[in-house]
Amino acid sequence: MYACLRMSLVAATALISTSVVANAADVQRPPARSQLATIYDWTGFYAGGHVGGGWVDNGDGGFLGGGQVGFNYQMRQWVFGVEADVSAASGDLNWTSTLAGRFGWATGPWLIYGKVGGAWANEDFVTMRRVSDRTSSGLLLGIGAEYALRNNWTAKVEYNRMDVDRNVDAVKFGVNYRFGLNPLPGRW
């Protein structure tokens, strides 16, 4: 009889301790490192503006400024998207434009990305005492970093290499506004 009572006591103690351990598992813990990396949701449409400088392969350069529109889709830390931009330019170029795929890695409020796509540039040239302009197309390669600010705003810096009739390099500083819900709920 005492053996039966002892077994019942051991079984009850085991059952209660299992319940306590199970309840302790429900205690709030800080987010895991992988959850912190995705605190900002980059998914959605955006539009913005940029300023910067550009130069061609002969060293001539000038100011550029314009706008961009795009869409991103985030899967865990990976971000994929498409972006189109147009820039008015001074110097040898009249304007540049690009259409590119973006791919990047999101970590906290940062997005580090690369771009690859098409580029177009328009420039003036002189032939037989006449000034004309021509538009050439080619390949775009770029890299950049974007940082999440408050209320759907982001800021970015970007380097682009456009291989049109001549090589065109550009450095741009810009801001974007993301449409839709606040991508940082509870944080901002």
Which are the contacts of 116, defined by CB distance < 8 A and separation ≥ 6?
A: 100, 101, 139, 140, 141, 142
- Does any domain span residue 184? no
- Domain count for the chain: 2
Asked whether residue 76 falls in the same domain as residue 131, the answer is yes
CA distances (Å), origin 91, targets 18, 48, 120, 170:
75, 24, 16, 13
pLDDT score recorded for residue 57? 86
- Does any domain span residue 97? yes
Check: CB of residue 84 under 8 Å from CB of residue 91: no
Asked whether residue 62 falls in the same domain as residue 20, the answer is no
Choose among 156, 160, 154, 137: nearest CA to 188. 154
Residues of the chain short of pLDDT 50, as ranges, are 1-2, 4-5, 9, 19-22, 33-38, 185-188
Asked whether residue 95 falls in the same domain as residue 162, the answer is yes
pLDDT score recorded for residue 28? 57
Domain that holds residue 10: 2-30
Cα separation, 119 vs 171, in Å, equals 15
Check: CB of residue 95 under 8 Å from CB of residue 67: no
Each residue's pLDDT tens digit, 89-128: 998 889 999 999 999 999 989 999 999 999 999 988 777 7
Residue count of the chain:
188
Asked whether residue 41 falls in the same domain as residue 117, the answer is yes
Asked whether residue 24 falls in the same domain as residue 77, the answer is no
- Does any domain span residue 106? yes
pLDDT score recorded for residue 83? 98
Asked whether residue 16 falls in the same domain as residue 41, the answer is no
Asked whether residue 173 falls in the same domain as residue 131, the answer is yes
pLDDT score recorded for residue 92? 80
pTM: 0.74
The CATH number of residue 82's host domain is: 2.40.160.20
